[in-house]
Amino acid sequence: MALVTGASSGIGEATAVALAAEGATLAVAARRRDRLEALEERLGNDTDVLVIETDITDEAAARAMVAATVREFGRLDILLNNAGVMLLGPIVDAPVEEWSRMVHINLLGLLYSTHAALPHLLKAAETDPRRVADVVNVSSVAGRFARQGSGVYNATKFGVGAFSESLRQEVTRRHVRVSLIEPGATRTELASHNRPEVLEGISASFGQTELMQADDIAESIVFTVTRPRHVAVNEVLIRPTEQER
């Protein structure tokens, strides 16, 4: 049983589809209910799906999301923290509301969701059929390498990496695996929320690069959570072949 945040598009949507193909039951969460309902319809009657319209930056809403999932399905085996935004640009004279938005979604929302889910994941790791549970945090190549024009986005993703490693050390002997997925340039909606001048810079940097697709990242996530109980894939850095940094 998997809970996927940011499931209304991109990597979250693709991973929900891929997990369903593996036979998972799903709770799909995001702010855009219409997109979630379209995903539910796409998955069809063969997959049990719970649609949760929510804003994970609200701690109470994040807790309610997890509670609704467990109430519906009786357990939680996999949490995919995928929701996030990437708002780039110089630090000097930056619109600080963009910083606040990234910190709240990329970092605090992930923390709230994980904290709420952990008791249920620890319980699932003690019971059949899997006797292992997974927290998968979608970070970025920006969580490994800082770049000019990406400072606060870098800060949020470096934070996700630090939190993930600390949590891994805390729960790994209890068979809750914590995995960090770090995609490079991927063709999703992520970049589209930037200001026009920032979009021009992104296009100049990656316009000639063959980007990855959301399905490419979903395959890595499914691989990670389907390893045998004694195997933990802790970190996956995945870039387009043509991406240099």
243 within some domain: no
Give the residue numbers spanning the domain of 55: 2-238
133 within some domain: yes
Q: What angle do CA 96, 100, 106 make, to 5 degrees?
A: 135
CATH number of the domain bearing residue 59:
3.40.50.720
Q: What is the pTM of this model?
A: 0.93
209 within some domain: yes
d(CA 5, CA 2): 10
User: So what's the pLDDT on residue 244?
Assistant: 84
d(CA 182, CA 36): 24
pLDDT in tens, the chain (245 residues): 999 999 999 999 999 999 999 999 999 999 999 999 999 999 988 899 999 999 999 999 999 999 999 999 999 999 999 999 999 999 999 999 999 999 999 999 999 999 999 999 999 999 999 999 999 999 999 999 999 999 999 999 999 999 999 999 999 999 999 999 999 999 887 777 777 877 777 777 777 789 999 999 999 999 999 999 999 999 999 999 988 88
* Type of residue numbered 36: L
Residues belonging to the chain = 245
150 within some domain: yes
Q: Give the residue numbers marked as catalytic.
A: 153
Counting the structural domains of the chain, the total is 1
How many C-beta atoms surround the C-beta of residue 38 within 10 A?
A: 13
Query: By the 8 A CB rule, do 26 and 43 touch?
Result: yes
Cα torsion angle, 173, 70, 159, 150, sign: positive
d(CA 88, CA 193): 9
Query: By the 8 A CB rule, do 6 and 106 touch?
Result: no
What are the Cα distances from residue 235, in Å, to 168, 203, 206?
11, 28, 24
169 within some domain: yes
d(CA 73, CA 75): 6
Tell me the three state secondary structure of residue 142: helix
